[in-house]
Amino acid sequence: MKTFIAAAAIGLTGIFATSAAAETCGGVYTVQSGDSLSVIADKLYKDAGKWSAIHNRNIDQIGPKPGAIRVGMKLSLACLEGLPLGLPGGKEFTSAAPASAVPVQIAPGNAAVRQKINLLTGDDYAPFTSKGSHNGGLINEVVNAAMTKAAPSEGYAIHWVNDWASHFDPLLSNALLDLGFPWYRPDCQTMPDSYRCQNFHFSEPMFETLMLLFAHKDRPFTYAQDSDIVGKTLCRPSGFLTFDLDERGRRWIADKKITLKQPHKVKDCFDMVAAGEADAVAINEFTGRSVMKENGFEDQFTVLPQPLSVLGLYVVVHKTHPRANEMLAMINKGLRGIQEDGSYQAIVEDHMARIWAGF
């Protein structure tokens, strides 16, 4: 995996400017007539661009199309930068505010870890896995919590190897380490010959993220259905996954229905769109928003309100691992455990508050 994400400089100073006693933040909003996710975000977060934060948080209920909300649907809204206020089910500010960021603690390795279950991840993939992010990033903290909940008798250790190209082969393929994360899963029903589908088992998703289109405000276009993309030129940097552009019958690349530009960096894609050499940057939400923020592109680009795809991030185990099924059951059990006791949602909320503060 070379899907390296430029980490946003996430500062939390003044994240909650409001400090009324017993004031609550976040909570449950009931969809009203005339609402869309953008309308709700503008009304409650004072920022229509936060529609994707609502969508991502409620994706199990809404589904992949943000326009699928209906009157009466109850949406869970996170507390982001001190908003929204006064909704039922919200948290008092003292419990909603993120604690100070804690750097990940990486214990030095020794031969004793051979007896443990060994998990593999890598750096420079913020906000998901990054030594410089709070607790090593969102997915690192989720996996750590799931493994702690699963409590394997032999113990476990998480190893950071920054050469992502070595993770699948040889480290996981030869069971030199047992489980790897975080990895996207192709649609194995429509792409059964994909390397990942052929060689790996996938856990339940640790987190789901939106793949969005970033278009220039001077040259906007409408994306409501896949046929709207035919004939367009999309940009996604080299080394980033592209299987979502071919799965579910799209075959945009395989059948040359689109032109795909693949420069070296994400910023290069934004520059190409600004120059009219591509119609949109097709990238995951957090990478796109981070690069926009870092380079002052917010006034030049718009985020199209229809996700290109919704992709989960998974823990993987090689199919030839002698304990593959056992380990998969273990991580899934731990994940369900933290989801049921509420700690999973607390982790996600904490990281989302930090991430959105950086945007």
CATH number, position 275: 3.40.190.10
pLDDT at 11 over 50: no
Q: Is the residue at 234 inside a domain?
A: yes
Residue 32 lies in a domain: yes
**Is 350 part of any domain?**
no
CATH of the domain at 73: 3.10.350
Longest dimension (CA), the chain: 62
pLDDT tens profile 288-338: 999 999 999 999 999 999 999 999 999 999 999 999 999 999 999 999 999
Among residues 49, 64, 96, the one where a domain terminates is: 96
pLDDT at 15 (0 to 100): 45
- 9 part of a folded domain: no
Is residue 304 domain-resident?
Answer: yes
- State the average pLDDT for the chain: 91
Q: Residue 242 sits in which domain range?
A: 208-310
End position of a domain, from candidates 96, 119, 140:
96
Whether the pLDDT of residue 212 is over 50: the answer is yes
Q: What is the pLDDT of residue 213?
A: 98
Q: How many residues does the chain have?
A: 359
Please tell me the pTM assigned to this model: 0.87
Q: pLDDT band for position 101 (50/70/90)?
A: confident
Answer yes or no: is 165 within a domain.
no
Residue 20 has pLDDT above 60, yes or no: no
Give dist(CA 344, CA 144) in Å, integer: 11
Counted domains in the chain: 2
Query: Which range among 60-74, 87-101, 113-127 shows the weakest confidence by mean pLDDT?
Result: 87-101
Within its chain, how far is the Cα of 188 from the centroid?
20
- Residue 255 contacts by C-beta under 8 Å, 6 or more apart in sequence? none
pLDDT one-digit tens code per residue, 153-197: 999 999 999 999 999 999 999 999 999 999 999 999 989 999 999
Exposure pattern of 81-112 as b/e (b: 16+ CB <10 Å)? bbbbbebeebeebeebbbeeeeebeeeeeeee
Would you say residue 269 lies in a domain?
Answer: yes
Give the domain-ending residue among 79, 96, 113.
Answer: 96
Answer whether 42's CB lies under 8 Å from 312's CB: no
Residue 53 lies in a domain: yes
Residue 351: which of 78, 50, 121, 75 has the closest Cα?
A: 78
Cβ neighbour number for residue 320 with a 10 Å cutoff? 12
Give the model's pLDDT for residue 95: 65
